[in-house]
Each structure stands twice: as structure tokens, then as C-alpha cells.
Amino acid sequence: MKKKPVQYWLMKIEPSDVSIDDLAARPKQSVPWYGVRNYQARNMMRDDMQVGDLVWYYHSSCAEPGIAGLAKISSAPYPDPSQFDAKSKYYDPKSTSDAPRWVMVDVQLVERWQLIPLKWLREQAALADLRLLARGNRLSILPVDAKHWHFVEQRRVLR
């Protein structure tokens, strides 16, 4: 595949599953992003992500939703083994090893941040069209525009 310039992503995870502190404590500070069962999110991992792309590690479904830190894509896409595990809640009986339906990537910690609350993001006029903030957004993986990325990069430490 042709190498693209670095791209930016937001990936949601429940901190009760793997919080940023859990990530920091893991071997290689890396986590396999298993369990995605949404075609749009899968397609982004399979077709668009490149090793080295940067990621906002986002805590969702918790008391303080927000961006918990910076991570990066640390592997090419590969089949998600949980789709073949009949005991897994992510088991997909329609998927075969010849034609795996679900893929995943590895995500590695770059830097823990002081949490950037969702509430703060919503207050920034420059982020008005950030996809995370769009009404009814439920996708667990979202692309982030460079302009939004850089805005947060400049402002997050000045809050």
C-alpha cells in the first residue's frame, strides 16, 4: 500500500475495559483493539490506517468522558481472533478463517495527558464540526481533521 502522510484518529474505549493507566501498564504499552463489530470502523482500520498514525485515546461511557492521552497505530491490520472464539462475546459464527470478517490493529501509548473533558471540547468554537461532537455520533473510531488536531495540540496545555 502506498504510504500516506500521518493521519489522525480518535478511538473510543471504556476505561473500565482498558483505561489509559491500564494501557501504560501493559507490555509494550500496547493493546490489541479487538471487538470492533461495525463495518465503518472496520473499514477505517483495514483500509485507511497506517502504522505511525496518531490517535486520541478517548474514554467513553464513564463518569468523565474525554481524551485521556496520545497513542499511535503500532501494527498493520490483522484478523481479530475473538471472532472465531465461540466463548467470546465478540464471536461471529458467519466469519471464517479463509475470509475473516473483522480485523483489528494494535494501539500503543505515546503520552498520558491530563484528561481533556468532552465538556471542554464542546466549548471550543474551533471544534464545532469535530465529528465526535456531532449529534448522535456512535462510531467508536473516527478520523480527526488536521485543523482540529492542531487546535487541541496548541490549546490543551493552556487550559
Between CA 148 and CA 17 the distance in angstroms is 27
Query: Taking the complex as a whole, how short is the minimal distance between the CB of residue 150 and DNA, in angstroms?
Result: 22
- The answer to whether the beta carbons of residues 120 and 159 sit under 8 Å apart is yes
Chain residues binding DNA by CB under 7 A are 12, 38-40, 60-62, 65, 118-119, 122, 134-140
Query: Taking the complex as a whole, how short is the minimal distance between the CB of residue 3 and DNA, in angstroms?
Result: 29
- The answer to whether the beta carbons of residues 77 and 105 sit under 8 Å apart is yes
Query: Taking the complex as a whole, how short is the minimal distance between the CB of residue 155 and DNA, in angstroms?
Result: 19
State the amino acid at position 40 in one-letter form: Q
Nearer to DNA, 61 or 154 (CB): 61
Q: What are the two backbone dihedrals, phi and then psi, of residue 48, each rounded to the nearest 5 degrees?
A: -115, -30
Nearer to DNA, 108 or 140 (CB): 140
Query: Which residue reads 461532537 in cell numbers?
Result: 133
Nearer to DNA, 52 or 64 (CB): 64
